[in-house]
Structure 1
């Protein structure tokens, strides 16, 4: 009897011991996850915002190669940050800041017209994911190289972005397990696939699942060819010029605009580019207004500059022309240069540079290495899911060019092209392949989340959850 009582007592003590041990383990895991986050980088408040932050935010620097430091701004998901996916957002340019994406597109707050205050974005992508806004390459925004002879190109940018990502997950080891996606727009059509290939080839300790590219620079030849086609069928250029382009640049249904040696083709493109430049049309949103107020630094900057930088010396010089971007960036520029904002984001006082949305000087010295992302997509699609989406009012990285690019990948089709819906209305059209989805977004320009935030949030939510659009 005594033996039985001792056995029961011992069993109870063992049970209590096990519960205590489990509790200690739970506390250690909880504290580990909490303490893993870099306290020095936490953003506790934002100037111009009335009320507390909607979720935790962090801002600081990530180590890339050598002396290069890339500035990041990380926003935890407003849903379930422990399990929700982590999304890297990259704006394009090359040389434009991803913080434009935060302040005017998909961040939790939009900067107001006064350049001093913020308003909540009810359609922020942080509703469904934790988002990293990375200022890349060095020389963009508050990122810096630390070397006076710094130059960069597509491959160097991809390598530095990977190093910065690895450093991010060192700062946030609790997020290594989370699904990870890369997203962005415009020249991020180059940044994203080149980075994704490096993640795959180097077998980085990142739970990489896929990528989404909006109005991407995916194939320069297709974009230039369809840009003229888009302009003609939207009533921007007339019959005479369109026929001249067709007769002098095209043969048997195939057109050569980039690197053409036919003087008539070069002249026709010069005329088309001069026309597009001087009529005051907004090429990023042909249905929208050309904003009369813009940063003086942006006056000589254009997506068309990078299109032209890929051409051979015999190509149309009109593609090199400065182009009024028709995008008002003054509010974001003003907000990011407020001293209290710099302090809140932990920008060192020793860094005296002025923040601008885009850096034309960096763009002018940036080396474009790729004319197409076909090879990268072919490498990636067997292993990762991809979304290509285009606002249908953008002529710069237009939907026709990216639609042709998607079709050229020869992926298994899952159905016919069809409309997709948002709140009972047609929001665009979708073509689904086995590992790839191509979508147009109605009434959106180059910056889809800015023009149509509701449909954009629905689109990215469905993509992250691998649900039909």
Structure 2
């Protein structure tokens, strides 16, 4: 009966701004028209939160029959978190669910959506997007989230200053998502991220697992998140490892030296004197605090003192000049168009990366080890032309993960990773941990090597170690 009423209400939108308002179990649901766009609003009695979204805006995903939803979840007082959800293009009723979160901290997940693995991309200098045949919703239902508050289209009071504090808000968003869209409960769930996602990914996944334990023990009444996979590309995991490995990458990467050996030796000496001691202080404390923030500042000072020796390049892809980086930033102007904003239900101006959304330095990867120990399928991968979170540091951080297969993993030789018989990188896998170095790729792997990215994503979501095809 409710669905019939809803259809009738939509048909009379021209006559009223609020066309349907119903009390339903657990809350109140209404449909409103704002400037010609239909908004669905659900007020949750349990949390006091509100979900406000637009269905099938016609923006980005234009595959016939594929539903999409975009809008806001209220995750706290004056805290509206932006989401954009796309059904799988094939078998959405049974496909797994994956969430994508960009890093920064403070960078929007619309980067991933429009430049990397979303349903549409900007090709050949076009000002409007076209369908992406390698979109990750070819396999999974995809949820993109701008977090924390102040990032991308999210708006409200900015209170989060670390991964530990960010995790509960993302958990609450997922709880609200499952309440409004219960058909996606009990699906295999994957968390994929990049860059500062080296902290976000393990931190969020660890929090989800702890909440699941509380649910199993009867201490928490909530919906379990059936986390089966974690993927992090070009991540920032452990600064004690990666600060040093950046210097090695600068001299010994696959393309050309960014600095000479003499400068590298000076840089390394400065790292040991002016950076490492502060990082060691950070690792001695629990959580994220001023000690770790100070370590970030001290190491940044060392890095900046050597920055003038580096060429004028795009550090996200050292093969490119800084003046014309790929992928293009076309999508930023697109999302700033008032007509597009209205269509998708955005209520604030878009910001790709927000300076005011800051983050304390973060922990050093202990959660990553515990997650691998838990049996979740974990993929750590990196494009080999990225200097921001270079593959040298990612590889060393992966080898440092402690789990039952550590010794075998460290001693295992990498082998070629192929897609349809074509070599695209090198990899190794032991038990539930996989490492992949992607050739000819910058920071945003799916933008540079979409076939590789989709294949590795599917294999990981299938709870398998990655393998060549």
TM range (shorter): 0.7 to 0.9
In the aligned structure 2, how far is the partner of 1:382 from the partner of 1:259?
27
Q: Is the 8 A contact 2:82 2:154 kept in 1?
A: yes
Q: Is the 8 A contact 1:112 1:331 kept in 2?
A: no
In the aligned structure 2, how far is the partner of 1:440 from the partner of 1:214?
10
Q: C-alpha offsets along residues 308-360 of structure 1, whole Å, 9 cap, x if unaligned?
A: xxxxxxxxxxxxxxxxxx5676411111111221122122xxx4x42121112
SS of the residue corresponding to residue 429 of structure 1 reads strand
Q: C-alpha offsets along residues 139-181 of structure 1, whole Å, 9 cap, x if unaligned?
A: 0111112x3x645322221111111111111111111121101
Q: For 1:34-433, list aligned pairs within 5 A.
A: 40=40, 41-46=53-58, 53=64, 55-112=66-123, 116-145=127-156, 147=157, 150-203=159-212, 204-234=223-253, 235-247=257-269, 249=271, 256=276, 269-276=303-310, 279-292=311-324, 330-347=329-346, 351=347, 353-362=348-357, 366-379=358-371, 381-411=373-403, 412=405, 413=408, 416-433=413-430
Q: C-alpha offsets along residues 376-435 of structure 1, whole Å, 9 cap, x if unaligned?
A: 432553231211111111111111111111111133136532111013221111121222
* Deviation at residue 456 of structure 1 after TM alignment: 0.8
Q: Is the 8 A contact 1:186 1:215 kept in 2?
A: yes
Structure 1 residues 357, 266: CA separation in 2 closer, same or farther (over 3 Å shift)? Answer: closer
Structure-2 residue corresponding to 1:307? none
SS of the residue corresponding to residue 201 of structure 2 reads helix
* Deviation at residue 267 of structure 1 after TM alignment: 9.0
* Deviation at residue 244 of structure 1 after TM alignment: 2.2
Structure 1 residues 244, 134: CA separation in 2 closer, same or farther (over 3 Å shift)? Answer: same
SS of the residue corresponding to residue 424 of structure 2 reads strand
SS of the residue corresponding to residue 317 of structure 2 reads coil
Structure 1 residues 47, 244: CA separation in 2 closer, same or farther (over 3 Å shift)? Answer: closer
Q: Is the 8 A contact 1:416 1:431 kept in 2?
A: yes
Q: For 1:454-465, list aligned pairs within 5 A.
A: 454-465=451-462
Q: C-alpha offsets along residues 271-327 of structure 1, whole Å, 9 cap, x if unaligned?
A: 422223xx31111111233234xxxxxxxxxxxxxxxxxxxxxxxxxxxxxxxxx56
- TM-score (structure 1 length as normaliser): 0.75
CA RMSD of aligned residues (A): 2.8
Q: C-alpha offsets along residues 106-153 of structure 1, whole Å, 9 cap, x if unaligned?
A: 0111135767411111111110101000011110111112x3x64532
In the aligned structure 2, how far is the partner of 1:125 from the partner of 1:80?
13
In the aligned structure 2, how far is the partner of 1:437 from the partner of 1:143?
33
* Deviation at residue 47 of structure 1 after TM alignment: 5.0
Q: Is the 8 A contact 1:42 1:56 kept in 2?
A: no
After the TM superposition, which of the residue ranges 440-449 and 457-466 deviates more from structure 2?
A: 457-466
SS of the residue corresponding to residue 313 of structure 2 reads coil
* Deviation at residue 53 of structure 1 after TM alignment: 4.9
Q: Which has the larger radius of gyration?
A: 1
List alignment gaps of at least 5 residues for structure 2: 1-28, 32-38, 41-52, 213-222, 281-294
List alignment gaps of at least 5 residues for structure 1: 1-35, 293-325
In the aligned structure 1, how far is the partner of 2:73 from the partner of 2:110?
15
In the aligned structure 2, how far is the partner of 1:429 from the partner of 1:54?
38
* Deviation at residue 77 of structure 1 after TM alignment: 0.4
In the aligned structure 1, how far is the partner of 2:333 from the partner of 2:301?
41
Q: Is the 8 A contact 1:44 1:344 kept in 2?
A: no
Q: Is the 8 A contact 1:78 1:128 kept in 2?
A: yes
In the aligned structure 1, how far is the partner of 2:63 from the partner of 2:428?
41
Structure 1 residues 118, 407: CA separation in 2 closer, same or farther (over 3 Å shift)? Answer: same
In the aligned structure 2, how far is the partner of 1:192 from the partner of 1:225?
22
Q: Is the 8 A contact 2:57 2:344 kept in 1?
A: no
Query: Relative contact order, CA 8 A, sep 6+: which one is greater?
Result: 1
Structure 1 residues 444, 258: CA separation in 2 closer, same or farther (over 3 Å shift)? Answer: farther
In the aligned structure 2, how far is the partner of 1:124 from the partner of 1:53?
15
SS of the residue corresponding to residue 69 of structure 2 reads strand
* Deviation at residue 457 of structure 1 after TM alignment: 0.7
